[in-house]
């Protein structure tokens, strides 16, 4: 039992690090080159996105789940058992529902303080600022974003251009890597997926 509690605490620490360590610059424009324009057009063309994800921290712990995205501003991360966390955007906030926190409400953070901005924004200049770069390596494209508090790297397949995942490192050296598989882009997606009524019911039980 104590072992499971330690694993749970470590998992929650990993999740919380995603939603606390990143804040994107929003005011600095960057020069537009051809490669950046291709990436920007690809991300801007996303209206809905569904994928399976695998999340790894710097200790090698792996958790999995499903990602649902619908513009504007709707995101859900559904983690597989035994974690069963639900991370859902609502208006300008991100809600983290943990079924084991019986009787307590979800943890809440501003959506603007999460690494999800590149998925819901069409203007990459607000994300990259003056310290960003795009580079190619073999069959992949990488978009690097540097900030005093973090380094974010977004990975794309080059041909055809497609999002593969992202990796970020905070100022104390913690690294989180998210890999996407089975991506479905611009299919119909119901708004029911992003409603939180059932999430509130789960944490009340």
pLDDT digits (tens, 9 = 90+) for 81-100: 988 899 998 888 889 998 87
Measure the CA–CA gap between 119 and 141, rounded to whole angstroms: 16
Q: Write down the pLDDT at residue 186.
A: 96
| pLDDT over 60 (residue 16) | no
pTM above 0.85, yes or no: no
Q: Structure tokens of 132?
A: 């960003």
Q: How confident is the model at residue 101 (pLDDT cuts 50, 70, 90)?
A: confident
| pLDDT over 80 (residue 125) | no
Q: Write down the pLDDT at residue 184.
A: 95
Q: What is the mean pLDDT of residues 3-10?
A: 45
| pLDDT over 80 (residue 28) | no
| pLDDT over 70 (residue 74) | yes
Q: Of 112, 83, 109, nearest to 96 (Cα)?
A: 109
Q: Of 95, 51, 4, 15, nearest to 186 (Cα)?
A: 51
Q: Write down the pLDDT at residue 32.
A: 47
Q: Write down the pLDDT at residue 31.
A: 44
- Specify whether domain 2-204 bears CATH 3.40.605.10: no
More confident residue, 128 or 36: 36
Per the CB < 8 A criterion, the answer to whether 114 and 107 are in contact is no
Q: Write down the pLDDT at residue 144.
A: 83
pLDDT 10s digits, 153-179:
899 999 899 999 999 887 777 888 999
| pLDDT over 60 (residue 11) | no
Neighbour-count burial of 146, counting CB atoms closer than 10 A to its CB (0-12 exposed, 13-18 middle, 19+ buried): middle
CA distances from 12 to 79, 89, 133, 155 (A): 12, 18, 31, 25
Q: Structure tokens of 67?
A: 């990602």
């Amino acid at each position: 039992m104590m072992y499971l509690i330690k694993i749970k605490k470590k998992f929650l620490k990993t999740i919380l690090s995603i939603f606390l360590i990143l804040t994107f610059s929003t005011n600095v424009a960057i020069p537009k080159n051809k490669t950046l324009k291709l990436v920007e057009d690809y991300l801007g063309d996303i209206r809905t996105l569904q994928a399976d994800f695998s999340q790894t921290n710097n200790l090698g712990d792996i958790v999995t789940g499903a990602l649902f995205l619908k513009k504007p501003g709707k995101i859900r991360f559904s983690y597989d058992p035994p974690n069963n966390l639900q991370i859902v955007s609502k208006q300008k906030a991100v809600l983290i529902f943990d079924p084991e926190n019986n009787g307590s409400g979800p943890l809440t953070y501003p959506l603007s303080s999460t690494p999800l901005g590149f998925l819901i924004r069409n203007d990459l200049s607000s994300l990259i600022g003056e310290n960003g770069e795009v580079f190619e390596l073999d069959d992949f494209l990488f978009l690097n974003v540097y900030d005093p508090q973090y380094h974010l790297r977004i990975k794309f397949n080059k041909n055809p251009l497609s999002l593969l995942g992202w990796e970020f490192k905070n100022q104390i050296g913690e690294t989180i890597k998210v890999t996407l598989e089975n991506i479905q882009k611009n299919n119909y997606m119901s708004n029911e997926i992003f409603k939180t009524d059932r999430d509130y019911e789960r944490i009340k039980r």
